[in-house]
Amino acid sequence: MATQTDDLQVVDEVIANLEPATDKAEFIVPEPETSPLAGDDLPLEMISLLRAGISQMSTMDKVREFPEFFLRLAQSTGLRLVLLKRWTSGLQVFMEENIQLPAEAKKKRRDGKAPIPTTDTDIFQAITEDATVYAGPVPVKHFPLDLTLMLGRGSRDRQIIILPLPSQNHWNTFLYLDADKSTENSLAVAEILAHYALSRMCLLNKGARNSKGKVAGILKAEMHRRKTSPDSDADLPEVPVMEEAVPATADAAPEIPASDGATAGSLTPEAILRHSGELPALPKAACHIMAVIEDPGTTATKLEHALAMDQALTAKVLRIANSPFYGAVREITTVSEAIVRLGFVAIRNWTLVTAARSVFLSPGAGMLYQKIWRQSVMSAMAGQLVGQAIGGCNPDSVFIGGLMQNIGQLVLARSHPELFQEILNESVERGLPYHVVERGRLGFDHGELGAMLIKEWNLSQDLEEAVRWHHRFSDEEAKSDRIAAMIALGEEIALCSSGLEENQECDVPDTVDQDPGDEELFSDAAKFLGVTSEALAELKERAVELKIDPHFFS
């Protein structure tokens, strides 16, 4: 006879054993019949579906049967379903149905963190605390950005259901379901079934819910935002949602989040950079190494001693010196040999890469931030190839410009995450380059933010201007326009050569910027620089042939 302890292991076993399969029992739906419940809201076949679901769940005596039930429901109706586990560091995907999620969403990162970062104020934390169902529109301010992007174009405009599952007295595993127009009736049925399933699981779990009303508060806040927002959701249809089973009290529901104190149109690059109080500063060790390199009297021995102060950077320099990017033939094992192979300028550049990463990417940074960062590093390397091929400037300047040009996106994401998400969503929905939407919403683009950081970090004025104008290098007012165009071309080559790394981990989706397959990406920058189609093709081939060491990005 099954024990209560056996029942409480439900989700661990579901995660270990449950796979979408066609050999599972079909979801049985009886023939539609006349029903007093039928009306304009749900067709008869949906009423039959609802009856069948309640009938089947009424006989379930183990909690593990409920996720299997909703899997069969998704398979029979076309609803999208995702099984998610919440760890202390975020969410991890364990199963999906009718949707294909990226492989990196299903495994923990090298540092042991979950792949989808969450916050203490998001909907999944609220559901964990309330042990209740969320059913309604996507709560944009309380929904993980990485998960929004994984779910694809138009996902934030869908109606969703999130059903918590108990495991060892914790409600930290979830079934996520959503629907498009063709399946919204099925989702309406699934909403009722989710509430019924939760009640049944509470009985089987021998635990009464103690709702704090946070989920109801998030739903109320999202509905209020959609009614009052002048921009993002004004044209979205209003879809009725079921009230929470446990009413939220006035003091239990979270307040509607206040704005940052400034609208998108009133923000300036200075305001964004100083939103956290101070401009981000380079680590002291990096500043010391760069100062040593800039000193005209520096010797290789002095640089070796400076690098020895940072063991992590020393190890990175050795790995980079042994990479194909720098034509490694024999293995280098000492820092002095690495200095000879790379040269002072290359070491300065990679010191800046390492330092900038530590400034902008915290240990829990999500996949989107990681991809923007990897794209920045790839743009830097492709920009160096462009500078070497075209000449007329220092290729290392193009390297740093390529690195810094996208850091402005990370700055905005950190200081104003909601605004960043809105710009990114609009870029995806309208099929426009990210920087075009930025200029429309803010009046400037991320190049302005990158330029201000270059100035703050005492790099060079030419580089500052090149990064500022890299999306507008043909403007009459543009300064350092040739370097700016090289930075732009390097970014385009990196976008179109996303297979630089064989396992595709460095791939950057078109949600971050332009469509990598669009040949028009190259026209402006290539024409401005006088790059022929043959030379451009050769640059692309050289970029694809590079074997990028993953340590470049870590």
Cβ distance 376 to 504 under 8 Å? no
How is residue 360 written in tokens? Answer: 């902008």
Q: Please determine, for residue 185, whether its predicted confidence score (pLDDT) is greater than 50.
A: yes
Q: What is the pLDDT of residues 74-124, one digit of tens each?
A: 999 999 999 999 998 899 999 999 999 988 899 888 778 888 988 888 999
Residue reference for tokens 């040949």: 519
Q: How far is CA 212 from CA 191, 209, 215, in A?
A: 21, 9, 8
Residue reference for tokens 């379903």: 81
Q: What is the pLDDT of residues 197-240, one digit of tens each?
A: 998 888 887 655 556 678 888 888 888 877 876 554 444 444 44
Cα separation, 479 vs 456, whole angstroms: 19
Lowest mean pLDDT among 67-71, 308-312, 425-429, 461-465: 308-312
Q: What pLDDT does 71 receive?
A: 94
The answer for residues whose C-beta is within 8 angstroms of residue 317's C-beta and 6 or more apart is 307, 335, 338, 342, 347, 350
H helices present in 131-276, as ranges = 145-151, 184-204, 214-228, 269-273
Cα separation, 544 vs 507, whole angstroms: 12
Cα separation, 471 vs 481, whole angstroms: 10
CA 429, distance to chain mean position in Å, is 16
Residue reference for tokens 């076949």: 45
Task: State pTM to two decimals.
Answer: 0.58
The answer for residues whose C-beta is within 8 angstroms of residue 309's C-beta and 6 or more apart is 285, 288, 289
Cα separation, 226 vs 238, whole angstroms: 9
Which one, of 71, 75, 67, 94, lies nearest residue 201 by Cα? Answer: 67
Cα separation, 444 vs 310, whole angstroms: 37
Q: What is the pLDDT of residues 25-54, one digit of tens each?
A: 456 554 444 443 333 467 788 888 899 999
Cα separation, 272 vs 444, whole angstroms: 12
Within the chain, all domains assigned CATH 3.30.450 are found at: 4-228
Put the strands of the sheet holding 159-167 in their side by side order.
90-97, 80-87, 170-179, 159-167, 134-137
The secondary element (H helix, E strand) that includes residue 388 is helix 367-390
Residue reference for tokens 């009290």: 249
The alpha carbon dihedral of 132, 86, 152, 380 has a sign of positive
Q: Which amino acid is present at 438?
A: E
Mean pLDDT, rounded, of the chain: 75
The answer for residues whose C-beta is within 8 angstroms of residue 290's C-beta and 6 or more apart is 282, 348, 351, 352
CA within 13 Å, CB half, 112:
1
Q: Please determine, for residue 162, whether its predicted confidence score (pLDDT) is greater than 60.
A: yes
Contacts by 54-61, CB closer than 8 A, 24 or more apart: 54/193, 54/196, 56/28, 57/193, 57/196, 57/197, 57/200, 58/200, 60/200, 60/204, 61/2, 61/204
Within the chain, all domains assigned CATH 1.10.3210.10 are found at: 364-554
Q: What pLDDT does 211 receive?
A: 64
User: Using 50, 70 and 90 to split pLDDT, how confident is the model at 301?
Assistant: confident
Q: What pLDDT does 493 receive?
A: 83
User: Using 50, 70 and 90 to split pLDDT, how confident is the model at 21?
Assistant: very low
Cβ distance 470 to 386 under 8 Å? no
Top-ranked range on mean pLDDT: pick from 83-87, 244-248, 296-300, 529-533: 83-87
Q: What pLDDT does 405 receive?
A: 80
Stretch 157-163: mean pLDDT: 92
The number of beta carbons lying within 10 Å of the beta carbon of residue 417 is 14
Stretch 449-457: mean pLDDT: 84
The secondary element (H helix, E strand) that includes residue 137 is strand 134-137
CATH of domain 364-554: 1.10.3210.10
Q: What is the pLDDT of residues 510-529, one digit of tens each?
A: 334 444 444 444 468 888 88
Topology annotation, domain 4-228: Beta-Lactamase (3.30.450)
DSSP state, 382? H
